[in-house]
Amino acid sequence: MSEFRHLDVPIARPPRVVAAFAGDPANLPRWAAGLAAGIREDSGRWIAESPMGAIEVRFVGDRSAGILDHIVMLPTGETVLNQFRILADGEESLAVFHLRRAHGVADEDFEADAGAVRRDLEALRRLLEEGGPETARG
């Protein structure tokens, strides 16, 4: 069985708002540091520049149900499934990212990945809670 860690952050916004915002690929550079260089739509595909080169991001879950699972295709052609859910907590949300440790990843690299995901989730929380009405669209 794979090693994994669930990373979560509460967000004081309704789940439908969080899911709509976080599940819109155009918004990813605003809160996901690995995509800070930007993302563009190209013939229905979302392409981003990363330190590894061009990657494709494709959401595969039911965003309206808070399932923001997405597949990332690396420049090598390898694909990685990132499982990401927005759960209802009354009128607020809990954003939960399932971080899976890839085979052969060193402890320090797995911890660095977990830290990066945690920072992204915190950035999402801050943006949605403090970012003003423009973040509520979607």
Confidence (pTM):
0.89
Cα(17)–Cα(35) distance, integer angstroms: 21
Average pLDDT, the chain: 90
Backbone angles phi, psi at 36, to 5 degrees: -60, -25
What is d(CA 47, CA 70) in angstroms, rounded to the nearest whole number? 13
The domains found in the chain, sorted by start residue, are 4-136 (3.30.530.20)
Contact assessment for residue 52 and residue 34, using Cβ atoms and an 8 Å cutoff: no
Q: Within the chain, where are the H helices?
A: 15-22, 28-31, 107-130
For the segment 107-128, the average pLDDT, to the nearest whole number, is 94
| % the chain with pLDDT above 70 | 94
Calculate mean pLDDT across residues 43-67: 91
CA proximity to 91, closest of 13, 32, 5, 4: 13
Find where tokens 């995509």 sit: 35
How far is the CA of 89 from the CAs of 10, 14, 98, in angstroms? 9, 9, 18
